[in-house]
Structure 1
Amino acid sequence: MNWGHSIIIVFVLFAIGILTLVTRSMQTRIDMVTPDYYAEELKYQATIDARNNTGALSAPVRVQQPGDTIEITFPGELKGEPLQGKVHFYRPSDSRRDITLPLQLDEAGRLLVSRSQLDRGPYRIKFQWQHNGKDYFQETQFYVQ
């Protein structure tokens, strides 16, 4: 085989490789943290204030997984108090697996979530609530077994 044919073969293989790379990259799904990411970024000072309010509580919100439930326990001073808010289970790898639940605590200050609602794997759990006119926010990394 002469060197001219070799050069042509190398160029053809290179073109096939580039086309394969472009095709695969166009088919890759890219999920942003939130669909309105830029609008959320502008409101970030409110989130910083809410985090500071949460830091002033006696303890952070605690997440445990005893058996087939995920138990979310709020600090003692919030037991029996009316809270308005939500809990967002954010799955970094696939936004279709995200779950948002209203914050409805029992008399012990807990929210119980059935394990069957979530897939196994890592979640970023975001708690947002209001109490006595103050906003609160906490974010926790959690691995669902």
Structure 2
Amino acid sequence: MSWGNRVIIILVVFVAGITFMVYLSMRQTNEVVDANYYEREMKYQQVIDGKKNLLALGDSVTIMNDGAVIKVAFPPSTITRLDSGSIQFMKLSNAKDDKFIPMSGNKTALYQIPLSYISKGLYKVRIDWSNQGTPYYHEQSFNIQ
């Protein structure tokens, strides 16, 4: 085989490789985890304060999957007089599956979310609430199988 044929083969393999990489990159989605990230960044001091307040209690929020429902248990002292709050399940692979659950003022330390309401996958769970004017915040990754 002559050196001219080798150069042509190398160029063809290189162009095929680049074409394949362009094809793969065009199939990649570029979704942002949070659509309103700029507004959230401006309010980040509230998140810091909420994390500090929860950490000062020495207790934390627990999220469990018992097969039929997802249980979100709050420290009882943080839910005595709930002003406002929300539980957000943000699916990292598909923003269409994100779920937003407002927390009502019903003083219950255990929220149960039906498993049929949320699709399977890896989520970032963000929980923020305010009890008697004191903000709290908890964030964790949670896998639903």
TM-score of the pair, normalised by structure 2: 0.85
How far off is 1:2 after superposition? 2.4
How far off is 1:80 after superposition? 4.8
Paired position in structure 2 for 1:28: 28
1:59 partner amino acid: D
Unaligned residue ranges in structure 1 (runs of 5+): none
Write out aligned runs for 1:1-145 (5 A). Answer: 1-57=1-57, 59-104=59-104, 108-145=108-145
Q: Is the 8 A contact 1:90 1:124 kept in 2?
A: yes
Q: Whole-Å Cα distance in 1 between the matches of residues 68 and 9 of structure 2?
A: 58
RMSD (CA atoms): 2.1
1:23 partner amino acid: Y
Higher mean C-alpha displacement, 13-22 vs 71-80: 71-80
Change (3 A) 1:45 1:78: closer
Q: Whole-Å Cα distance in 1 between the matches of residues 89 and 6 of structure 2?
A: 55
Change (3 A) 1:140 1:83: farther
> Alignment partner of 2:54: what SS?
helix
How far off is 1:57 after superposition? 3.0
* Structure 1 runs, 4 residues or longer, greater than 6 Å off: none
Q: Is the 8 A contact 1:83 1:103 kept in 2?
A: no
What percentage of residue pairs aligned between the two structures are identical? 30
> Alignment partner of 1:56: what SS?
helix
How far off is 1:10 after superposition? 1.3
TM-score of the pair, normalised by structure 1: 0.85
Q: Whole-Å Cα distance in 2 between the matches of residues 134 and 79 of structure 1?
A: 10
How far off is 1:134 after superposition? 2.2
Higher mean C-alpha displacement, 104-113 vs 21-30: 104-113
Unaligned residue ranges in structure 2 (runs of 5+): none
Q: Is the 8 A contact 1:86 1:101 kept in 2?
A: yes
Q: Is the 8 A contact 1:121 1:144 kept in 2?
A: yes
How far off is 1:68 after superposition? 0.3
